[in-house]
């Protein structure tokens, strides 16, 4: 049995906390929100975010960061990406040298264009930071439905340690050394999922969704490889796997927000209606900035940005994507 803290009491943090308890670890969940912690401690259920999923009496809840991190074997950062830097700074005084931290947030910091593990490493430079990602909705993990993910770390020993903490008969974990590629895939897919949702809101069909997923992973791979990720990663769990589930699932907040925009809502109205952090909105600008920096073509990402921030009509964006200049699908495949 290991002592594990989960930093963040949203749907993903709570679902992972339950998974870790199922694996017989001693689990403490931290949140900055005192009312949320009191509710979880009293009700043993997050009725707003994971209704019907009950938490065991042995699980502890706290708002005190020092208590949460005292003598832990592993800490999981499960706060939304926009709060990763501030929460990591709060953690810093209580993190021991070499402490293994696992980031499960998906995003790119807009101002710095850093991934979340890079942000955490800046704020807690002596920590050993890993990432866990893949097609994994909290609603299904919380119910114990079979799920497969990948953990990325800079050392094989760390990756295998994290795998041992999380893996069980319904939660399979692969390992990878491509931390950067895993994070880019998990972040950029949220932007494509907004586009998929917009297409749903416009009344498009399965053909359109398949095209967006296929051309979306092409854009993600082009940019990811240009930045330093491995192309194999984007054909794996944190690439095409996570993209499929986020574009298709009824649980996907990015797809839902996009669908509402396709039906006529503004970005702000859609985010209010979803009532949870829509990571793709925050990653869209960063994705466009990275595409410009590395001179990579990302027409879907570009149009999503125009819909989000320039009030461009979604139907016009879709029409312009369809009428782009003629292209060869794979320029690497030569003609005889």
Q: Which residues are catalytic?
A: 189
Residue 113, sorted as left (phi over 0), alpha (psi -120 to 50) or beta, turns out to be: left
Q: Please give the sequence-ordered ranges of beta strands (E in DSSP) within the chain, or none if there are none.
A: 3-7, 26-30, 60-62, 74-77, 100-103, 128-133, 147-152, 171-176
Residue 119 and residue 137: Cα distance in Å, rounded?
A: 24
Residue 42 and residue 86: Cα distance in Å, rounded?
A: 28
Closest Cα to residue 112, out of 283, 258, 296, 325? 283
Q: How far is CA 13 from CA 39, 82, 173, in A?
A: 15, 15, 17
54 secondary structure, DSSP code: B
Residue 124 and residue 93: Cα distance in Å, rounded?
A: 9
Sheet holding 147-152, edge to edge: 60-62, 26-30, 3-7, 74-77, 100-103, 128-133, 147-152, 171-176
Q: Which residues contact 195 (CB under 8 A, 6 or more apart)?
A: 212, 216, 258, 300, 303, 304
Residue 2 and residue 20: Cα distance in Å, rounded?
A: 9
Output the CA torsion 64→107→151→252 (10° steps).
100
Closest Cα to residue 81, out of 191, 211, 228? 191
Residue 260 and residue 251: Cα distance in Å, rounded?
A: 14
Residue 91 and residue 67: Cα distance in Å, rounded?
A: 11
Residue pointed to by tokens 């461009």: 312
């Amino acid at each position: 049995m290991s002592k594990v803290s989960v930093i963040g009491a949203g749907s993903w943090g709570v679902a992972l906390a339950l998974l870790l308890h199922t694996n017989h670890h001693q689990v403490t969940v931290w949140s900055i929100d005192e009312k949320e912690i009191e509710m979880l401690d009293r009700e043993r259920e997050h009725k707003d975010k994971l209704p019907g999923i009950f938490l065991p009496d042995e699980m502890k809840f706290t708002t005190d960061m020092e208590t949460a991190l005292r003598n832990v074997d592993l800490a999981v950062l499960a706060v939304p990406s926009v709060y990763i830097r501030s929460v990591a700074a709060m953690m810093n005084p209580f993190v021991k040298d070499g402490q293994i931290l696992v980031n499960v947030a998906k995003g790119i910091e807009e101002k710095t264009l850093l991934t979340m593990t890079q942000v955490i490493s800046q704020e807690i430079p002596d920590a050993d930071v890993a990432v866990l990602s893949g097609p994994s909705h909290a609603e299904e993990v919380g119910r114990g439905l079979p799920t497969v993910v990948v953990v990325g770390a800079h050392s094989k020993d760390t990756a295998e340690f994290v795998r041992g903490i999380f893996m069980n008969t319904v939660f399979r974990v692969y390992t990878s050394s491509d931390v950067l590629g895993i994070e880019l895939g998990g972040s950029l897919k949220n932007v494509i999922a907004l586009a998929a949702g917009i297409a749903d809101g416009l009344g498009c069909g399965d053909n359109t969704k398949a095209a967006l997923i296929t051309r979306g992973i092409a854009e993600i791979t082009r940019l990811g490889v240009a930045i330093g990720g491995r192309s194999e990663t984007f054909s794996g769990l944190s690439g095409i796997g996570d993209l499929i589930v986020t574009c298709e699932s009824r649980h996907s907040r990015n797809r839902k927000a996009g669908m509402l925009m396709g039906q006529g809502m503004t970005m702000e109205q859609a985010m209010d209606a979803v009532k949870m952090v829509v990571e793709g909105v925050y990653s869209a600008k960063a994705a466009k900035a990275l595409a410009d920096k590395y001179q990579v073509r990302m027409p879907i990402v570009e149009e999503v940005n125009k819909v989000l921030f320039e009030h461009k009509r979604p139907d016009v964006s879709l029409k312009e994507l369809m009428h782009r200049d003629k292209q060869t699908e794979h320029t690497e495949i030569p003609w005889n």
